Structure 1
Amino acid sequence: MGEQVSTITRVGFQGDGITPEGLFVPLTLPDEQVRIAVGKDNQARLLEVLSLSPERTEPPCKHFSVCGGCALQHWEMTPYSAWKRDMVISVLEKAGLETEFGPILTTPPETRRRVGLHAKKIKGRTELGFKMRRSWEQVRIEECPVADPALIRAIPYLSEIASVLFEHPKSAPILQVTLSQTGLDIDIRGVERNKSGGLSADARMQIAMIAGEHDIARITLSEEILYQSRLPSVRFGRALVDLPPASFLQASAKSEADMVGLVKEAIAGCKNVADLFCGAGAFTFPMAEIASVYAVDGAGGAVSALKAAIGRAPGLKPIRAETRDLFRRPLVREELSVFDAVVFDPPRAGAEAQARELAQSKVSKVIGVSCNPQTFARDAQILTQSGFKLDKVTPIDQFLWSTHVELVAVFSR
């Protein structure tokens, strides 16, 4: 490993500065001169920044540079947001997709409503934290400018819960914590089963006592309910939906609202809409204020929660919901023919099979919501090659200071 001085030319897709030689240097910005230690696979370790970028700013979190959650807190917001928007533009242009790009919509600090906290025993003490940068080790979290403050305030008693999860020596618990409108919902993963098949009765009792003392809504162990004082609920439009255990929820209510607003704007004037990969109804219920909605998802628990909330949501157009694996059994062109518009919001793998059916259908408007610009570009190519026009793409920065970017796209015939 040797040392050298170089200049950062740009920031790459993983948030690292890149030198003219193609070396990746974490925690650096364009035009900075740096002294680095060169390692394997074009990775370099920053030793010193010799000339600071005028765009460099003081990170708001004391864990930054050690914690692996954020990569870009040291960059001023305006150039950081422009870089993230340019990532979407670059991916789509590389795929040959031409369109109008809207301004990026960014979630503010302290609005993330779900986090995954890793638990570890250190000298007899249980610590909760996030994984370190490029490491399986973890950093103990005492603050987080991204997360809702209520989640950070909960860490002391979440640590108490975690402390009873190490009955099996190979357990590596992760607490998936969601802040719902009716309290905390905690789903525990990574706990190895002992000879009795799970946690001991004593551990379960301790968890229930801690949960009751701190008014937690629900605790599940790989979706098995350990404790429940009430159902965790969230509001989607006019509906209050009870979340099933371990269900998907957008990380930020602000970004969810931004996406919902774009989707509702796109379906204005439509009478019959399909919501594919609907989850528990984040788009279904707001769209039902405008049009009849057919909601489909492969997650049976989410669809059941959506159905249960329909009767409690006033003043909506009709909603039908179905559990269906859209990867193996997408809606075919004949089924799609009755819809004025189709919204699809798939997981990171995208919706290739469904996109191929949409391409052959008579649907005149499609709205794509994506958490992965690469798989979206593939699906968008399928649509545009069949006669759809990609009218507009709006980047969404739901995961502040990370390298992750999402988007909402509108297609028309």
Structure 2
Amino acid sequence: MLIEAVGGEGDGVAAGPIYVPFTLPGERVRVTGGGDRRDLAEVLAASPDRVEPPCPHFGVCGGCALQHWAHAPYLAWKSDRIVRTLARERIETEVLPVYAAGPGARRRLALHARRGGPDVARLGYKARRSWDLVEVGVCPIADPALQGAIPALARLAAPLFEHPKSAPTLHVTLTATGVDVEITGVEAKSGGLSADARMRIAEQAAAADFARVTLAGEVAYMARTPQVRLGPATVALPPGAFLQAAPGAEAAMTAFVGEAAAGAARIADLHCGVGTFTFRLAAIAPVYAADMSGEAVSALRAALSTAPGLKGVTAEARDLVRRPVLADELRKTDVVVFDPPRAGAAEQAAEIARSDASRVVGVSCNPATFARDARILIDAGFRLDRLLPVDQFLWSPHVELVGVFSR
């Protein structure tokens, strides 16, 4: 079978189409199974772009799909994915070189836990196309400090299985003040964890010197408030707060957004979170910031006192799907930045399109919904000037982007 391309999920694609994981364009392979999804049995003629995967778990772990592809063609494929997605909406623009986060750059991980021994849980990622767990001892995408914390995290998870339906996930974030762990998936209908289990969690967290451990937002242990630096501000993170996955990618994105907003008189930062872009933008002009998470907005407001010299920030907790910022509310706002979740921001884009804004910056983790929202703006008289692809989910099919529009 000849592999002709790589599909959107990172699998090789042969005529049919038939999808074969861990294959590359131009390779001849032998496969097993039936239907449109087959399993790779043997590579008969390898691509010159095939490389040795750096992780011993690759091929079984469901976290990475493309470690077998050389870096340059892998990045070119990610850029081309964006170009082809935009083309479906009849959009062309200048696509800049991809910003690529390297190995060891991820500061956020979601680790699944399953019952193990009395003192240590099984901890890792879901297997490819399965609910089975692949225990990991190393993870090349993760910051070395998070890799080093995996054994302690497995011990921390051991007391979480008092209820047979519990399937915990540890959302782990490396902050400036230490490791922050938010635990979800612990069955609470029976009253939640016992006092003994909570005590064991606190003991393990203290032994590992974690900054904080929370259970569905409730503090179970805290030695220090988890904090991050966002531009000139120091932000105390609420439990489960969203951050860009790699600090280097965050820096590249905020620099790009700041450059696009240069010279603004008034800025709106919509879906602002804890202020990833807000603080950088507020050094340029007064900012109106809005996000549906009240906890994130409260953290943003509290951090304003740590960043003197800003032009001013007004922050509001607001559901931007049900209650988007209206065009009339954006009067005198000449730059709008929006960074929605994967579903995009069709309702908000329609209001931006009707506003008097002269520049718009769209940040997206989903090229398809970005293209849909971009078409709304373009139909209203905007032009997509340039676009920065961002690869901070290394070796996955996931790609992010920042696009700059002008009238």
What TM-score, normalized to structure 2?
0.98
Partner secondary structure for residue 240 of structure 2: coil
Question: Which of 2, 10, 23 pairs up with 1:7?
Answer: 2
- 1:150 partnered with 2:145: yes
- Alignment partner of 1:277 out of 261, 266, 271: 271
- Which residue number in structure 2 is paired with residue 116 of structure 1? 110
Alignment check: 8 A CA contact 2:385 2:403 kept: yes
Distance (whole Å) between structure 2 residues aligned to residue 333 and residue 193 of structure 1 = 43
SS at match of 2:303: helix
Of 154, 161, 175, which aligns to 1:166? 161
Query: How big is the shift at 1:194?
Result: 5.3
Instruction: Choose the corresponding residue for 1:16, options 6, 11, 34.
Output: 11
Find out whether 1:386 has 2:380 as its counterpart: yes
Tell me the CA shift for residue 215 of structure 1.
Answer: 1.3
Gaps of 5+ in 2: none
Assess if the C-alpha contact under 8 Å between 1:168 and 1:194 holds in 2.
no
1:120 offset after TM fit, Å?
A: 1.0
Q: 3-state SS of the aligned residue for 1:343? A: strand
Q: Choose the corresponding residue for 1:84, options 74, 78, 85.
A: 78
Q: Paired residue for 2:136?
A: 141
Aligned mates of 1:123, 1:239 — CA distance in 2: 43
Shift of 1:337: 1.3
1:360 lines up with 2:359 in the alignment: no
Measured after TM superposition, the shift of residue 123 of structure 1 is 6.3
The answer to whether residue 301 in structure 2 is matched with residue 299 in structure 1 is no
The answer on 1:262 being equivalent to 2:256 is yes
The CA distance in 2 between the partners of 1:101 and 1:139, in whole Å, is: 37
Aligned mate of 1:402, from 389, 396, 400 = 396
Aligned length: 406
Structure 1 residue 315 displacement after superposition: 2.1
Deviation of 1:271 after TM superposition, in Å, equals: 2.0
The Cα shift of 1:156 comes to 1.1
Partner residue in 2 for 1:3 = none
Query: Could you report, residue by residue, the CA deviation over 1:360-391 in whole angstroms, capped at 9, with x for unpaired residues?
Result: 11111100000000111111110000111111
- 1:193 pairs, out of 176, 188, 207, with 188
- The one-letter code sitting in structure 1 at the alignment partner of 2:356 is K
Report the equivalent of 1:371. Answer: 365
For 2:86 and 2:322, locate their aligned partners in 1 and report how far apart those are by CA, in whole Å.
Answer: 26
Q: SS state of the match for residue 168, structure 1?
A: coil
Q: Which amino acid aligns with 1:95?
A: E
Deviations 1:313-360 (A, max 9, x none): 122211111111111111111111121100000000100100000111
AA aligned opposite 2:3: I
1:330 aligned counterpart, secondary structure:
coil
1:206 maps onto 2:203 in alignment: no
1:328 to 2:339 alignment = no
Alignment of 1:218-297 (within 5 A): 218-297=212-291
Indicate if the aligned counterparts of 1:373 and 1:406 stay in contact, CA closer than 8 A. Answer: yes
Structure 1 residue identity aligned to 2:18: L
Alpha-carbon distance in structure 2 between the residues aligned to 1:95 and 1:328: 25
- SS across alignment from 2:380: coil
Indicate conservation of the 8 Å contact 2:116/2:158, yes or no: no
- Does residue 1:132 correspond to 2:127, yes or no? yes
Alpha-carbon separation, structure 1, partners of 2:230 and 2:143? 19
Which string of whole-angstrom CA distances, capped at 9 and with x for unpartnered residues, describes residues 58-110 of structure 1? 11101001111110000000000000100000000111112111111111110
Shift of 1:291: 1.4
- Listed as ranges, the matches of 1:51-70 within 5 Å are 51-70=45-64
Judge conservation of contact 2:226–2:236 (CA < 8 Å) in 1.
yes
Q: 1:20 corresponds to which letter in structure 2? A: A
Task: State TM-score, norm by structure 1.
Answer: 0.97
